[in-house]
Structure 1
Amino acid sequence: MDSRKVVYLFFTTLLVGSISGAIVGFILEYHVYTEGSFLNLVFGVIWLLGICAAFSLVSQMGFFAYLTIHRFGLGLFKSLKLWNYVQIIIIAFVVFDLIYFRYIAFAKQDETILNYMVMPLLLLGYGLVVAYLKAKDTNKGAFIPALFFIVVVTAIEWVPALTVNDPKWLWLYLTPLITANTWQVLILHRLTKKA
């Protein structure tokens, strides 16, 4: 992959993440950005674009970190099949942790664990869809790495919002992460394909 493609990946990911996050952020607090003067709206949108661009930069760091870890895992386990089993176990632990530890940390007296299952299971379902699309576009060996990246790496990148447990920040932080991660997973093989 040449430098032109790396620059393309960087800026398109930044754009996809910041615009998607800004749209969701605007929808979540529509009244805050539309009340008052026109400048309130302009500065609000600029702030949303900026904060979501920062989140998409976190996504890009996670992507390149995962590419390194994936190569390291292949070298350590000497087999794609064994490395895939390890990734599946880590995916299961992360989904369990997203449910259980958030429940332990934030549940109120009358809340059940079901409330804390929704977002992790949605993330897992979304990861399965993205992994299926990646495997369909490339080969079936790409399914587990794509699922691992979407679920595990996104969850790690999402930790600052998870510790706050504010629904607005959960969605505002997740949206640029998930869209940028999806974009990177689904575009990489097109950029690295030989002409």
Structure 2
Amino acid sequence: MTLRKWFHLFWTTLLLGIVLGLAAGLILSVGQFELAMPGLRAIGFNMLYMILVGATVSILSQMGYFAFLIVRYVGLGIIRNKKTWDLLQWALVVIAMFELVSLRYIQFGGSWFAYVPLAAVMLAVSLLVAYWKVKLTNANGFLPTLFYMYVVTILEAIPALRTNNASGIFFMLVPLLGCNAWQILILPRILQNQKEPAAADSK
């Protein structure tokens, strides 16, 4: 990964986060939903606020992605058996799915089924991105992508998930899921383009 490639990934992800933040904010403002993000006072829907939130979420997404790559690299170094590593990832996906529903139910109460749609939608998006990853690379990319899109996204979205505000969760998850999907899908292409000039020079 060269510095130029990293800058390309950074700025494209930042731009995507801003665009998706604006889109999510405009959808909520048109629907006249009240936004309540944790730690912020009610300052209304305005373009600058949407841009700042989208940019902040994109940076959070990039931090989470590089942390995922580091943890994956270290994990594969410690757990050398691929089947064991895969089982661990599947277990964490199932645990994250259960905790996303049960912990919010315990904290906020109400109907248990009211917390299922969010977990189901996130799982559907994660499966779609994982399927797309397989199309772009190979079958080995399915589980890591599913793990990243589901488990890591949940960890990144904890500030919004701690609130029982649907609009706040939507406002954060739209740019977060978009940025996470963009990074894990585009990185192989960036690395492939990096190797092509070297291969050409060796001929």
1:89 Cα shift? Answer: 0.2
Mapping of 1:43-192 within 5 angstroms? 44-108=46-110, 112-192=111-191
| RMSD between superposed Cα atoms in Å | 1.3
| Cα deviation 1:21-64 (Å, max 9, x = unaligned) | 211111102377xxxxxxxxxx8112101111101110000000
Provide Cα deviations, 1:107-157, integer angstroms capped at 9, x if missing partner: 23xxx2111000111111111110111112111111100000000000000
Where in structure 1 are there 5+ consecutive unaligned residues? 33-42
The separation in 2 between residues aligned to 1:171 and 1:77, in whole angstroms, is: 36
Instruction: Give the Cα separation in 1 of the matches to 2:64 and 2:31.
Output: 33
* Cα distance between partner residues in 2 of 1:183 and 1:92: 24
2-structure distance, mates of 1:116, 1:88: 21
Residue in 2 that maps onto 1:15: 15
Q: Could you say what secondary structure the match of 1:117 adopts? A: helix
Provide the residue aligned with 1:28 in structure 2: 28
TM-score, length basis structure 2: 0.86
Structure 1: distance between partners of 2:87 and 2:77: 15
1: CA distance, partners of 2:119 / 2:21: 19
Counterpart CA distance in 2 for 1:68 and 1:10 is 17
TM-score, normalization by structure 1:
0.90
How far apart in 1 are the matches of 2:31 and 2:71? 43
Counterparts of 2:140 and 2:105 in 1: how far apart (Å)? 34
Letter in 2 for 1:163: R
State which drifts further: 76-85 or 114-123.
76-85
Report what 1:40 is aligned to.
none
Distance (whole Å) between structure 2 residues aligned to residue 180 and residue 80 of structure 1: 28
User: Helix, strand or coil: the match of 2:162?
Assistant: helix
Identity of aligned residues (%): 38
Show the counterpart of 2:41: none
Specify every segment of 5 or more residues in structure 2 that has no aligned partner in the other structure, as ranges. 33-44, 197-203
Structure 2 distance, partners of 1:46, 1:174, is 19
